[in-house]
Structure 1
Amino acid sequence: MAKTIFITGASRGFGKLWAEAFLKRGDKVVATARNPETLNDLVQKYGDAILPIQLDVNNREADFAAIARAKQHFGTIDVLINNAGYGLFGAIEETSEQEARDQIETNVFGLLWLTQAVIPVMRAQGYGHIIQLSSVLGVATLPVLGIYNASKFAVEALSETLAAEVKDFGINVSIVEPNGFATDWGGASAIHAQSMPEYQAVKAAFAEGATPDFFGVPEATSEAVLKLVDAENPPLRLFLGKVALPWVKQVYEQRLATWEEWQDVAAAAHGK
């Protein structure tokens, strides 16, 4: 059965790839972008099956209006994919106040407003699926992406909590955690803080670790997302890419070892 998918950040990258994958198989898609002209090719190809909406996700009022318009237009919203977001590159010390606020505003609050807007629609339907775009960097961190890491850790916590709160309404929540992919996420769509020479060494080490094998092929993700949307019991978390799981296993083994090493100190701090 065809679904109605509301997806943000559909102008390029994952958003546009996934929007077209849904359209190709006969789903209806509400696709949002800051510049809706970037969606003209999909409109010309798929006609009434796509509803393009100009949207800055940072505008809470506009987010609620977009959800209402989508519901009115197609009659239902089966899936919300909160894909809009961008990367902020820079060491913590390098990052300006405005850069940090803008990153959290888009990656966390934009996602939050749309989530809040769609819940009443899905609750009234008795079903729905909210898919939040996080990152492997919402589970483990890399240097020079500190505020981005923080935004995705926030998405993880928000979404895990949400899953428990809306389960009884028939609403599923999934957190998608891609490793690196060869999109323009680190290119035209990224923001770079003003560089300080003190961080050149750590940046060089970071760049050396970004080998070609680390980056997946964006087009290969579409099938996984279609399977996620179609799953009767979708997972709370889904990695995309082959790098994420081995890396996160290593990170968590190190965390557990540290917690175990300090357990006597931790237990004593309980006080009884």
Structure 2
Amino acid sequence: MRTPTTAGPGRVWFITGAGRGLGRAFARAALETGDRVVAATRTVAPLGDLAAAYEDRLLVLPLDVTDRAAVFAAVARATERFGRLDVVVNNAGVLSMGMVEEFTEAEARAQMETNFFGALWVGQAVLPCLRAQGSGHIVQISSIGALGGFPTTGLYSASKFALEGMSEALAMEAAQFGVKLTIVEPGGYWTGLYAGMTTATPLPDYAPLRAELEKQWAEGSVDSDPRLAAAAVLKLVGSDDPPLRLLLGGTAYDLAFDVSRRRMETWARWEEVSRAAEHAIPAPPDL
């Protein structure tokens, strides 16, 4: 594994959602190793201290990742300033909570706009640069919510499932150009995600389930310091052979294995039905 250098020009990072939480932790960690960072965020004020400390190696850009044209313009500014991109971290994300039935169309679409389409636009914008270089590493910040759907986080999970499906294809498409991609699935971190979340208007029919969930949540937090996630991502991008997926935290790790085991057990029980549903035949004449 290659150790990030603390001297010389360093790598160039492009990080979305860099104003707080995980994004800010990634930016600070990269700067502390001697790398250069383009920190893209809706609100630039929280990055004032980093901008003052790392003026020569930090470019702060206001950016709403749901605006495709703005994303392409931000990437153009980044490459104009630093000449290349080495690590692209799609971290911008929002959380909308509510039972699936409770979401309005506008609320459902807003969840997808940032978590899925925002990452899609960034990927499309950076790929010409990465292809031309023949190198680069795209890091897609997904979630423990992509391991399965859970009550009240169905639309959030849907956005992360979509992100992961797109990212698996992108990883294979980009590999021929020397570009790597890793899907990072974090557990809980103190990021401000919950403070900025929106909530669908609750239906009274779900009150018993909601009360049961609130009881479970009251048992205590397992959220961690974002700096631990940043340290893991530094190791990830310093690897010569990074994985397609990386779980962050014991909670995510244990859940991934539990969900996978239960799925495999179910598939095995229904194997006979599954296999009986396929038998190749010549194309029917009326098709």
TM-score interval for Structure 1 and Structure 2 normalised by the shorter chain? over 0.9
Q: Whole-Å Cα distance in 1 between the matches of residues 243 and 214 of structure 2?
A: 32
Where 1:85 maps in the other structure, the secondary structure is coil
Between stretches 82-91 and 134-143, larger displacement belongs to: 134-143
Aligned residue identity for 1:222? A
Task: Give the superposition deviation at 1:196.
Answer: 1.4
1:8-157 map, 5 Å: 8-157=16-165
Q: What is the SS of the residue equivalent to 1:176? A: strand
CA-to-aligned-CA distance 1:112-158 (integer Å, 9 cap, x gap): 00101101100100100000010121122221011100000011111
CA–CA separation in structure 2 for the residues paired with 1:204 and 1:241: 27
User: C-alpha distance in 1, partners of 2:130/2:112?
Assistant: 26
In the alignment, what sits opposite 1:201?
A: 208
| Higher deviation after alignment, 29-38 or 113-122 | 29-38
Farther off after superposition, 249-258 or 82-91: 249-258
3-state SS of the aligned residue for 1:123? helix
- Find the aligned partners of 2:215 and 2:12 in 1 and give their Cα distance: 42
SS in 2 for 1:238: strand
| TM-score relative to the length of structure 1 | 0.96
Alignment pair present for 1:270 and 2:275: no
% same residue: 44
Shift of 1:182: 2.5
Report the count of equivalent residues.
271
**Equivalents in 1 of 2:59, 2:153: separation in Å?**
34
What is the aligned-residue RMSD (CA, Å)? 1.3
Question: Larger Rg: 1 or 2?
Answer: 2
Structure number having the greater helix percentage: 1
Q: Secondary structure at the match of 1:270?
A: coil
What residue ranges of structure 2 are gaps of 5+ in the alignment? 281-287
Change in Cα spacing, 1:63 to 1:161, as seen in structure 2 (3 Å) is: same
Secondary structure of the structure 2 residue equivalent to 1:214: coil
* Aligned mates of 2:125, 2:140 — CA distance in 1: 14
TM-score (norm 2): 0.91
Give the equivalent residue in structure 2 for 1:192. 199
Structure 2 counterpart of 1:198, one-letter code: D
- Deviation per CA, 1:55-111: give whole Å up to 9, x if none: 000010111111111001001100100000111100001111101001101100010
Aligned partner letter, 1:192:
T
For the Cα contact (< 8 Å) 2:147–2:259, is it kept in 1?
no
What amino acid maps onto 2:233 in structure 1?
A: V
Which stretch of structure 1 is more off in the superposition, 258-267 or 149-158? Answer: 258-267
Equivalents in 1 of 2:90, 2:106: separation in Å? 23
Q: Which amino acid aligns with 1:26?
A: G
| 2:168 corresponding residue in structure 1 | 160
2:59 partner letter: L
Quote how far apart the aligned CAs of 1:213 are: 5.0
Question: Which 10-residue stretch deviates more, 8-17 or 244-253?
Answer: 244-253
CA distance in structure 1 between the aligned counterparts of 2:267 and 2:40, rounded to whole angstroms: 43
Q: How far, CA to CA, are the matches of 2:111 and 2:180 in structure 1?
A: 26
* Structure 1 unaligned regions, length at least 5: none
What is the alpha-carbon distance in structure 1 between the residues aligned to residue 230 and residue 86 of structure 2? 18
